[in-house]
């Protein structure tokens, strides 16, 4: 077992339920069993670049397993290799990784555990190649990290989206409307597929299956002819028509991925009304899916991830990411986890189940 005296932990990328449970799963045993000092780096990799941190005490990590967000703060604009710096001429994007390496060494860290999604894991891989001792913990509501069966945060997001769809059923039924709900997920359709199936959506639109406008409208009109006077359409933010591209809300050069998706729900709602003549209303869940308390599943998974990450650090297995394989948490090399995004496969059992109960994917 490797001697661990100072362990760093940070949360990178977008927030999601379960981050605090991971921090707790790392810090409590690190302090209790290793007698180590746990350094909480503030606001993700921004804090690593700018030298902002604080030492965590047992009191800091007590009673936080049920809290959403992160006690350390986070940022999706702090990639040290693509760091936005204000200059008199505006924002410059610079490589500030040397600052991060210097702070890592000045803080005398034996290991750094980074909790985040695909972008965070790419950064973990780069710093590992530079000789730093990093371990990754997969976090994203999008569930799009390969090499793990599921990421924590996904179950909580699906729960929120499903509850929203349940509520839209009653108001849609009362007013005989088509209710469109836009959910997150970026380039993967896991949230839309999971919540759409669980909530009984009549149409589910995901990035992996380009849709056709006439197919969607035919489906909702057919439902009306058979006595169903309302329909629920669950659309992922990255969904796109067969003849069309992604709907982009804005672009931000400060982010490693500058594209911010959003707006497809309004496009779908307007098009359904235009083609079918049916009254349509649109709900965009947005950040509601990332906020609030984690579900029990995510609290348990996040706790297991945290303790496993500390175990990997004690074994010196750096450059690895914790991973859920079946019912057991193990680990995989980070390089394997970032080869490609984990999108919904066309032969997914979830898709087959949804089609079997009459759900349309607009194809």
| Active site (annotated) includes residue 363 | no
User: 325-360 burial string, b = 16+ CB within 10 Å, else e?
Assistant: eeeebebbbbbebbeeebbbeeebebbeebeeeebb
DSSP 329: E
- Among 309, 288, 291, 295, residue whose Cα is nearest residue 65: 295
In the chain, ranges of CATH 3.40.50.460 domains: 154-291+345-356
Give the rounded distance of the alpha carbon of 332 from its chain centre.
19
CATH number of 154-291+345-356: 3.40.50.460
In the chain, ranges of CATH 3.40.50.450 domains: 6-152+292-337
pLDDT in tens, the chain (363 residues): 567 899 999 999 989 999 999 999 999 999 999 999 999 999 999 999 999 999 999 999 999 999 999 999 999 888 999 999 888 888 899 999 999 999 999 999 999 999 999 999 999 999 999 999 999 999 999 999 989 999 999 999 999 999 999 999 999 999 999 999 999 999 999 999 999 999 999 999 999 999 999 999 999 999 988 888 899 999 999 999 998 888 888 777 666 677 788 899 999 999 999 999 999 999 999 999 999 999 999 999 999 999 999 999 999 999 999 999 999 999 999 999 999 999 999 899 999 999 999 999 999
Instruction: State how far the Cα of 201 lies from the Cα of 193, in Å rounded to an integer.
Output: 9
Question: For residue 259, what are the contacts with CB-CB under 8 A and spacing of at least 6?
Answer: 246, 248, 251
CATH number of 6-152+292-337: 3.40.50.450
| Active-site residue identified among 118, 142, 144, 298 | 142
Question: For residue 79, what are the contacts with CB-CB under 8 A and spacing of at least 6?
Answer: 45, 119, 123, 256
Question: Which residue do the tokens 């000092």 mark?
Answer: 37
Look at the pTM and tell me if it is higher than 0.85: yes
Question: Which residue do the tokens 């729900």 mark?
Answer: 265
């Amino acid at each position: 077992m490797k001697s661990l005296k100072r362990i760093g932990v940070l949360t990178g990328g977008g927030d999601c339920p379960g981050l605090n449970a991971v921090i707790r799963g790392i810090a409590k045993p690190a302090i209790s069993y290793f007698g180590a000092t746990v350094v909480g780096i503030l606001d993700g990799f921004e804090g690593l670049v700018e030298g902002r941190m604080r030492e965590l005490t047992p009191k800091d990590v007590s009673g936080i397993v049920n809290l959403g967000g992160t006690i350390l703060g986070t940022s999706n604009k702090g990639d040290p290799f693509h760091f936005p710096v204000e200059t008199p001429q505006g924002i410059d994007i610079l490589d500030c990784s040397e600052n991060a390496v210097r702070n890592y060494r000045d803080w005398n860290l034996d290991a750094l555990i980074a909790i985040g999604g695909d972008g965070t894991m790419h950064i973990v891989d780069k710093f590992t190649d530079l000789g730093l001792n990093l371990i990754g913990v997969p976090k994203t509501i999008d569930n799009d990290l390969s090499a793990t069966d599921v990421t924590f945060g996904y179950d909580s997001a699906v729960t929120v989206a499903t509850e929203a769809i349940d509520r839209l059923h009653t108001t849609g039924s009362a007013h005989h409307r088509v209710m469109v709900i836009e959910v997150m997920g970026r380039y993967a359709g896991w949230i839309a597929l999971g919540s759409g199936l669980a909530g009984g959506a009549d149409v589910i639109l995901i990035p992996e299956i380009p849709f056709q406008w006439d197919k969607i409208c035919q489906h909702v009109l057919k439902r009306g002819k058979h006595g169903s006077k309302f329909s629920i359409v669950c659309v992922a933010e990255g969904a796109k028509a067969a003849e069309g591209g992604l709907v982009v809300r804005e672009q931000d050069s400060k982010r490693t991925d500058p594209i911010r998706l959003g707006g497809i729900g309004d496009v779908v709602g307007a098009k359904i009304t235009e083609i079918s003549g049916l009254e349509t209303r649109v709900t965009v869940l947005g950040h509601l899916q990332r906020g609030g308390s984690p579900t029990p599943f995510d609290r348990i998974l996040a706790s297991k991830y945290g303790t496993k990450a500390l175990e990997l650090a004690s074994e010196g297995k750096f450059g690895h990411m914790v991973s859920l394989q079946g019912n057991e948490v193990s680990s995989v090399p980070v390089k394997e986890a970032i080869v490609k995004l984990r999108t919904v496969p066309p032969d997914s059992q979830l898709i087959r189940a949804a089609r079997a109960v009459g759900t349309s994917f607009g194809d």
